[in-house]
Amino acid sequence: MSVIYVLLAISLVVAIIFFAAFIVSVKKGQYDDAYTPSVRMLFEDELVKPKKVKSEE
């Protein structure tokens, strides 16, 4: 039964380490997208066809 407590403690420590690493990487801008805005103008915009409205006669 004591092995479960040890494994639980180890898993909590590992989870806290990964969470702290994630927070640090977000604050440093690791997940900021700097590439897409520069090439967005190269993509063709999809043409939106207006819907035809039936007029009542």
Biggest CA–CA distance in the chain, Å, is: 83
Mean pLDDT on 2-8: 96
Mean pLDDT on 7-34: 94
pLDDT at residue 27 is higher than 80: yes
Helix residue ranges per DSSP H, 1-57:
2-27, 36-39
CB 10 within 8 A of CB 2: no
Most confident range, picked from 1-5, 42-46, 47-51 = 1-5
**Contacts for 31 with CB less than 8 Å, ≥ 6 apart:** 25
Give CA–CA dist 20/10, Å, rounded: 15
